[in-house]
């Protein structure tokens, strides 16, 4: 008995040293460095008038583009960055052009084709889909060529068809497509201005209504399959993925050139705040480990600037991989220490050596939102605190808390005081109680908008900025922000039975109760 007690005590001490001390230190660091809660931030003005965290303008060009740019990382290869949400690569061959990715919409394909014609008049005779999101501009690039070779993962046609059936945005349940498409349109600046203080900074832009010119894959490739495409020897990898499960990487072994979808302009986005299917960090990291060991001399990314030089590529991938491992390992460490999703947010801060890696700058998503998603996937929504097992509604909570806080005017005063201290998160949370009680209270709506806008200005993540700005504009009545973006008529008519079936999730059980037979 005495031995087991000693053993238990040592376990407790070990846990405190290994888990507790780290968690405490990182919470302290985050409190000091949290720009949403009063940490000093230098704001600047982007060329389009956007008010933005100066760090974005200083660092983002190390891994991404803020304006349309054509790079040539190797002879006969052009990378078109800053034209659309994701870049596109063109490989020149004596037999014609090979395109790697085509944009996220018909509009992107049109922009890319115009840019391509500034460097070459050759026809595009082959297209490779890096993943499912960036095949929707293919029909434009094909220019009516019915014999064009379309290469991709064996399952990409199915995934794209399911996405389009649901509404466009990837969804675990296709019936959620309209809801997630609405959130995606907000995230990709479908409602924000192109100029002025609230404008987007990075060109993370999609139109609110997506039009597809997707061409089905007619040349599916398996993992490690080799093909000669327009005279160019290629090896394909289809085993790994990042934001979807149907990626295709391309290895030009004779030229030591790798085209990948796994290195992004920002840390591996293990959760998208628009909502998406789970992104497994283990799969993403396995692909990065493989890429690191290939010995590439030119790395062309479908989501970041090219990297040239064997040693530089190795160091870039290793630093990027370490960032992904940090987020996963410290999330698991925090969970083992008893932290729930909200506590994990506070501890998820990169150490300086990881933050210094160009592709680890949080310009797209911010890592504080990744740990809660991993927790929810691995453990479920329940955070382990039995006091949270049963909860009252937001409205009920607000109606009980506001009187305890002294009433509407005192809550407004407290929120305004928080704004003066640059404690924007606290201001938003306070005023949100009043918003729950009366969403049409214009004074409340404006103060909530002010808090969200202030957060958007200090954010580094383009996704975070877009959601914050969009909702601020909607609260002010400057835009209409739809909760759902319904499928277009052409999608519905392509599969009427599918959309008739989807109507079952629109039935109100109270109103339809007596209609049951």
Distances (CA, A) of 230 to 121, 125, 126, 148: 16, 8, 8, 11
* Residuewise pLDDT in 10s, the chain (517 residues): 333 333 333 333 343 344 444 444 555 555 568 999 999 999 999 999 999 999 999 999 999 998 999 999 999 999 999 999 899 999 999 999 999 999 998 999 999 999 999 999 999 999 999 999 899 999 999 999 999 999 999 999 999 888 777 767 788 898 998 999 899 999 999 999 999 999 999 888 876 667 889 999 999 999 999 999 999 999 999 999 998 889 999 999 999 999 999 999 999 999 999 998 899 999 999 999 999 999 999 999 999 999 999 999 999 999 999 999 999 999 999 999 999 999 999 989 999 999 999 999 999 999 999 999 999 999 999 999 999 999 999 999 999 999 999 999 999 999 999 999 999 999 999 999 999 999 999 999 999 999 999 999 999 999 999 999 999 999 999 999 999 988 888 778 888 888 888 888 988 888 887 776 5
SS3 439: coil
List all residues 6 or more positions away from 129 whose beta carbon is below 8 Å from its beta carbon.
Answer: 101, 102, 135, 138, 150, 151, 152, 153, 156, 217, 248
**Contact call for residues 185 and 191 (beta carbons, < 8 A):** yes
Residue ending a domain, choose from 324, 354, 382: 324
Q: Do 76 and 93 meet the contact criterion of CB atoms below 8 Å apart?
A: yes
What is the predicted pLDDT for the residue at 489? Answer: 82
Look at the block and give the residue holding tokens 């990898």: 237
- 8-state DSSP, 16: I
Q: How far apart are CA 189 and CA 35, in angstroms?
A: 22
Positions of E strands within 64-194: 69-74, 77-81, 88-93, 96-100, 124-128, 149-152
Is residue 418 domain-resident? yes
Length of the chain: 517
**What is the model's pLDDT at position 23?**
46
State which residues form the domain around 121: 52-324
Residue 424 is assigned to a structural domain of this protein: yes
Residues 66 and 169 in one domain: yes
Which residues are CB-neighbours of 321 under 8 A, at least 6 positions away? 285, 288, 289, 292
118 and 236, same domain (yes or no)? yes
Q: Indicate whether 314 and 425 sit together in one domain.
A: no
Sign of the Cα torsion 165, 166, 169, 172 reads negative
> Are 298 and 397 in a shared domain?
no
Residue 489 lies in a domain: no
Q: Around Cβ 292, how many Cβ atoms within 10 Å?
A: 17
Position 36 in a domain: no
Beta strand 96-100 with 88-93 is antiparallel
Q: So what's the pLDDT on residue 10?
A: 39
Q: How far apart are CA 81 and CA 84, in angstroms?
A: 7
Whether 192 and 303 map to the same domain: the answer is yes
3-class secondary structure, 258: strand
Stated pTM of the model? 0.90
Q: Is residue 17 part of a domain?
A: no
Q: What CATH number should be reported for the domain holding residue 247?
A: 3.60.15.30
* Residue 1 domain flag: no
All residues at 6 or more sequence positions from 477 whose CB lies less than 8 Å from its CB, including other chains: none
Considering the domain architecture, whether residues 297 and 172 belong to the same structural domain is answered as yes
The two structure tokens encoding residue 59: 């660092």
Measure the CA–CA gap between 314 and 309, rounded to whole angstroms: 9
In a domain, 28, yes or no: no
- CB 259, CB 100: distance < 8 Å: yes
Alpha-carbon distance 204 to 266, whole Å?
13
How many domains is the chain partitioned into structurally?
2
In degrees and rounded to multiples of 5, residue 214 shows phi and psi of: -60, 135
The answer on 310 and 417 residing in a single domain is no
All residues at 6 or more sequence positions from 180 whose CB lies less than 8 Å from its CB, including other chains: 166, 167, 169, 170, 171, 274, 275, 276
Is the domain of 77 the same as that of 182? yes
Tell whether 399 and 281 lie within a shared domain: no
Residues 319 and 403 in one domain: no
Residue 15 lies in a domain: no
Half-sphere exposure of 515 (CA within 13 A, CB side): 6
Q: Which of 324, 339, 365 is the last residue of a domain?
A: 324
CATH number at residue 443: 1.25.40.880
pLDDT of 6 reads 35
Of 99, 133, 105, 321, nearest to 213 by C-alpha is 105
């Amino acid at each position: 008995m005495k031995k087991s007690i000693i053993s238990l005590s040592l376990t407790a001490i070990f846990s405190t040293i290994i888990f507790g001390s780290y968690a405490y230190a990182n919470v302290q660091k985050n409190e000091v460095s949290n720009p949403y809660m009063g940490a000093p931030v230098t704001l600047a003005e982007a060329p389009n008038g956007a008010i933005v965290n100066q760090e974005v303008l200083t660092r983002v060009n190390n891994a991404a583009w803020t304006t349309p740019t054509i790079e040539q990382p190797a002879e006969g290869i052009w990378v078109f960055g800053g034209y659309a949400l994701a870049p596109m690569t063109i490989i020149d061959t004596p037999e014609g052009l090979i395109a790697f990715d085509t944009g996220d919409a018909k509009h992107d394909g049109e922009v890319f084709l115009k840019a391509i014609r500034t460097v070459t008049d050759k026809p595009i005779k082959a297209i490779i889909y890096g993943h499912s999101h960036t095949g929707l501009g293919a029909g434009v690039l094909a220019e009516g060529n019915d014999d064009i070779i379309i290469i991709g993962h064996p399952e990409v046609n199915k995934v794209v068809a399911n996405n389009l059936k649901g509404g466009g945005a990837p969804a675990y349940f296709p019936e959620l497509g309209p809801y997630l498409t609405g959130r995606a349109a907000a995230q990709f600046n479908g409602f924000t201005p192109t100029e002025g203080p609230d404008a987007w900074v990075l060109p993370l832009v999609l139109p609110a209504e997506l039009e597809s010119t997707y061409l089905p894959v007619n040349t599916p490739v398996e993992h490690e399959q080799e093909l000669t495409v327009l005279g160019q020897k290629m090896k394909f990898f289809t085993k790994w993925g990042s934001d979807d499960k149907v990626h295709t990487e391309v290895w030009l072994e004779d030229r030591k050139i790798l085209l990948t979808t796994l290195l992004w302009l920002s840390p591996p986005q293990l959760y998208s705040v628009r909502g998406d299917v789970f992104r497994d960090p283990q799969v993403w990291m396995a692909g990065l480990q493989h890429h690191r060991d290939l010995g590439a001399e030119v790395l062309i990314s479908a989501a970041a600037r090219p990297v040239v030089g064997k040693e530089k590529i190795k160091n870039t991938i290793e630093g990027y991989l370490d960032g992904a491992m940090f987020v996963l390992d410290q999330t698991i460490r925090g969970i083992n220490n008893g932290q729930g999703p909200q506590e994990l947010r506070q501890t998820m801060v990169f150490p300086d050596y990881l933050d210094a890696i160009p592709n680890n700058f949080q310009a797209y998503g911010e890592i504080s939102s990744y740990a809660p998603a991993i927790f929810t996937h691995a453990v479920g929504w329940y955070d382990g605190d039995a006091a949270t097992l049963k909860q009252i509604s937001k409205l009920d909570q607000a109606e009980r808390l506001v009187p305890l806080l002294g009433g509407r005017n005192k809550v407004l005063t407290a929120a305004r005081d928080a704004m003066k201290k640059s404690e924007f998160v606290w201001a938003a949370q306070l005023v949100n109680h009043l918003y729950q009680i009366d969403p049409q209270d214009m004074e409340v709506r404006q103060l909530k908008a002010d808090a969200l806008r202030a957060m958007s200005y200090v954010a580094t993540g383009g996704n975070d900025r877009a959601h914050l700005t969009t909702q601020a504009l909607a609260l002010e009545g400057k835009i209409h922000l739809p909760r759902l973006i319904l499928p277009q008529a052409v999608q519905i008519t392509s599969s009427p039975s599918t959309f008739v079936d989807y109507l079952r999730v629109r039935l109100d059980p109270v109103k339809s109760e007596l209609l049951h037979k």
